Structure 1
Amino acid sequence: MSETVSFGYTDIAPAEKTEKVGEVFRSVARRYDIMNDAMSAGMHRLWKDRFVRRVKPREGETILDMAGGTGDIAFRLAKSGAQVTVSDINAAMLEVGMERAQKKGIEGLIWSEQNAETLSFDDKSFDAYTIAFGIRNVTYRAKALAEAHRVLKRGGRFFCLEFSTTLWPGFKEVYDAYSHKLVPKVGKALAGDEESYRYLIESIRRFPPMDEFRAEIAAAGFVQTKVEPMLGGLVAIHSGWKI
């Protein structure tokens, strides 16, 4: 049988997933903030603030923000004086990010179209690697994690912010009902795109539990891996170090 990967609740060919995910993010690029508000009830802003506090960016260091298209994480990181490279496989997302940076008067960011699985950067180029709500959309997570490890310097740190599965009794059922039934309808009403929002919700359900993803990070070569759940694990900060 031919190899397949998940696209929401559907299993498809790997090359097809890359194209379909690209279509999703081209569709939602201009409404990305609305999408995040719909999927998290607006809490994604607080999660991102907490995430950047955990990264502890410092002046003078180099940080790669992968799948960072519209700049939400990069703008927060750049306040520290770090040199931030914003990378995304989707040119439409990067275009939105550059426009937002210009409107906000944020300068000094480097914008680079990149595939997380085949980065063009040299080995040991960055002090930190961040990826927020992007790892579940790559075709091969193991390749993306290996690339993250490769481009980090010794002593470099990896941080990932991603949806997971809440372990709080009762809350999981409430959120499942909200996300599956309401979020696609919100997407249709606000962005005229129900299917893209439906995929994004389904992709969360297909993402591995926190401990399994933590093991994947360790398998890529990272040490001292940790997971910090929020809302019982509805979203989590994963981290590790390269030695």
Structure 2
Amino acid sequence: MARISTVEDVSLDEPTLVEGFPGVGLVGKIATDHLIDVHGMIHYANVHCDGLPPVAVYREGNAAATTPVRLYADPERDLVALRSDVPVNPAAASKVAACLGSWFDETGLFPVFLSGLGREKDDEPPALYGIATGDGGEALARAEVEAPSESGLVSGPTGAMVAAALEHDRDAVGLVVESDPKFPDPEAARRLILDGIDPIAGTETPTDGLVDQATEIREAKQQLAEQMRQANEESSQAEPLKMFQ
């Protein structure tokens, strides 16, 4: 049965949720993992949604098994982060989106969806764009996040959640950042945090360690990236539309 089970009671007002399903460059996962670690966020709830892989995860130094998708909260900053340790099969994306969408409606939170747009790396900083549903465009305007410079689409579980927000007229934003199509990209995740998440959520997040520890992050995330490649599944990503319009 689809449900969100609370692990720790926390007091939240009108929280911003940052979604971190693995995708291109693992930018969403790296960004949300960093937010959770830097802000010392509390393990708030476990996610039990139809369509998620039926696996359990465990952590070094902790004997307690838990779900592969979890929610963390920071009451002081009115912030919630979705951490996922597994990719989601595209065929199950709509089920996961429906499960989480119902919870979004119950809690009244404002979701920020994250996706990477595969681009070969160069000397220029990765570009960041924003899309919105409902009145989410107001948040993008306040944060001065630019509109996309080309047409495109967002796929995977992130795309399914944006589509569900559009269908149900939920206020939400999607942040799209240019990222390495082959390897984890902490630089792109840093851009997401500094110029997207922080100004939208009203937070201040130290990010120097992201780039300084790029090698360590790449090694730690490489196994997940390889798992996604071998499965040949479409992860959450943005991509240009190659067609007449």
Shorter-chain-normalised TM-score: which range? 0.3 to 0.5
Structure with greater proportional strand content: 2
Q: Which has the higher contact order (CA 8 A, sep 6+)?
A: 2
In the superposition, the TM-score normalised over structure 1's length comes to 0.33
TM-score normalised by length of structure 2: 0.33
Task: Kindly indicate which of the two structures has a greater share of residues assigned to helix.
Answer: 1
